Copies of this chain bind each other. A is one copy, B any other.
Amino acid sequence: MYSMRKISGIEKFVHPAVIHQTLVKEDSRNVEIWMQTSQPGKPTPTHYHSGEEILIVLKGTGWCQVDGKQIDFGPNSVLTVPAYTPHKICTTGDEEMQAIAVLETPVEIFNRAGEPIQLPWPYGKTPGTLEPTPSEVS
């Protein structure tokens, strides 16, 4: 269905480390699109998706670890992470990172153990297996 919506009018899910908005879901037959604003120093757990993920970084800096390699990125960058590829992402510096994520549907997310998990990450909210371990944070 044709639609136009203002991002300011889309519900914001405010979590300790990330503000999440779902920009597109029902209106697409092949992607979900998210807007996320992430705080520095709070890496995601290592996770993978059943579909590919594309991240368009509008503001801020960070790193992404894939296959044991860490790649730093700044604002105005595009990252692509193929399906079933474990990765983790962290915002660095003093600024928040604002990024648009384009995710192939259906969006299914798994932790390193292959257990399904859901975004946004429950930082500081539900301590447990979803929290980054000290070795992941370091």
- Report if A130 contacts B (CB, 8 A): no
CA distance A70 to B81 in the complex (A): 37
Q: Which of A52-60, A106-114, A119-127 contacts B (4 or more CB under 8 A)?
A: A52-60
* Bound-state Cα–Cα, A8 to B28, Å: 29
A31 touches B102 (CB 8 A): yes
Interface size of A as a range: 35 or more
Provide 25 A-B residue pairs closer than 8 Å at the C-beta atoms, listed in order of the A residue: A1-B80, A2-B67, A2-B79, A2-B85, A4-B71, A4-B78, A5-B77, A5-B78, A6-B76, A6-B77, A7-B77, A7-B78, A23-B56, A23-B78, A28-B80, A29-B104, A30-B30, A30-B51, A30-B52, A31-B31, A31-B102, A31-B104, A33-B56, A33-B78, A58-B58
Residues of A at the B interface (CB closer than 8 Å) are 1-8, 10, 23-24, 27-31, 33, 51-52, 54, 56, 58, 64, 66-67, 71, 73-74, 76-82, 85, 87, 100, 102, 104
